[in-house]
Amino acid sequence: MDNLRAILLMVAAMAGFALEDMFIKHVSATLPIGQILLVLGTGGAVIFAALALRQGARLISRDLFTRPVLLRNAGEVIGTMGFVLAIAMTPLSSASAILQATPLAVTLGAALFLGEQVGWRRWSAIGIGFFGVLMVIRPGLSGFEPASLFAVQAVVGLALRDLATRATPRNVTTMQLSTYGFATLVPLGAVLLAVSPETLQPIPGPTALRLAGALGFGVTSYYAIVAAMRMGEVSVVTPFRYARLVFALIIGTLVFGEHPDAWTLAGAALIIGSGLYTFAREAQLRRRRARAAA
């Protein structure tokens, strides 16, 4: 039952993230990207700071300035900027499909930089998954959208964030990391506004509600995903992260009138299939190591 509850929480979290993306795409039509990041960063930092203080955590600590935490914040900046730009400038379905390659990028980074042993099967899965990304992007072909490279930037940044999280000191809480992750979006938004010809715009009521919806769904979904990972077995729950793409395809079709072509759908299938295989292989290897240790 714990696994079932965890799966339901994970699916609910992925639906929430897809709705957050929908609201961000809506407001990007009227507000500069820098202003969106300013609002979301400030709101998220305030919420998670309050939660951290409620747990008795300190907002200022020497551990928060260690190399892993700083790298994590850098990854948050790179990844969030890339994905917000991607969903603002390209179809939501294709940006979300590319984002599903993040777990493969994490496995690749763990092998290259953390010394994790990756066998030929997982290397093959990584290669197939990235080929799926190329099918979605289609560089050099008529369907190529240069802005889709922002989604690739998001994959790189979020993979860096996840890899750095593994190395963060254990006494740094999740709420502290989340506070700093959102806080880094504030100067990022300010810089984007400074270097772009766009200026701060007044936020009418409907747009403010959409921003509140994006922030609310983002924070709630974050809570749900943390609860899911703590409640259920990682190998059982993690594959349901790919439900986000299903919700993105539904929202893209019904809300934005998107019609993903065969290349996008086939590429997404390769990305998800290779990711699921990688998860299953990692779980199998963990079980073998556990039996050997016993």
Nearest to 17 by CA among 221, 239, 224: 221
Residues 6+ apart with CB under 8 A from 185: 37, 38, 40, 41, 44, 45, 76, 77, 80
DSSP for 46-91? HHHHHHHHHTT--SS-GGGGSHHHHHHHHHHHHHHHHHHHHHHHS-
Structure confidence at residue 291 (pLDDT):
84
Whether the CB-CB separation of 159 and 74 falls below 8 Å is answered with no
The rounded distance, in Å, linking the Cα atoms of 143 and 165 is 36
Whether the CB-CB separation of 256 and 92 falls below 8 Å is answered with: yes
Amino acid at 218: G
CA 263, CA 248: separation in Å to the nearest integer? 17
* Cβ(203)–Cβ(209) below 8 Å: no
Mean pLDDT of the chain: 90
> What pTM was estimated for this model as a whole?
0.90
Residue type, 61: S
At 212-261, the pLDDT tens digits run 999 999 989 988 887 887 787 766 787 888 999 999 999 999 999 999 99
> Average pLDDT in the 116-125 region?
89
| Cβ 100 vs Cβ 272: under 8 Å | yes
CB within 8 A of 104, min separation 6: which ones? Answer: 125, 126, 129, 130, 271, 274, 275, 278
Instruction: Dig out the tokens for 130 from the structure.
Output: 């990235």
Whether 1 has a pLDDT exceeding 80, the answer reads: no
Look at residue 234 in the predicted model and tell me its pLDDT.
65
pLDDT tens for 167-198 read 888 888 888 888 999 999 999 999 999 998 88
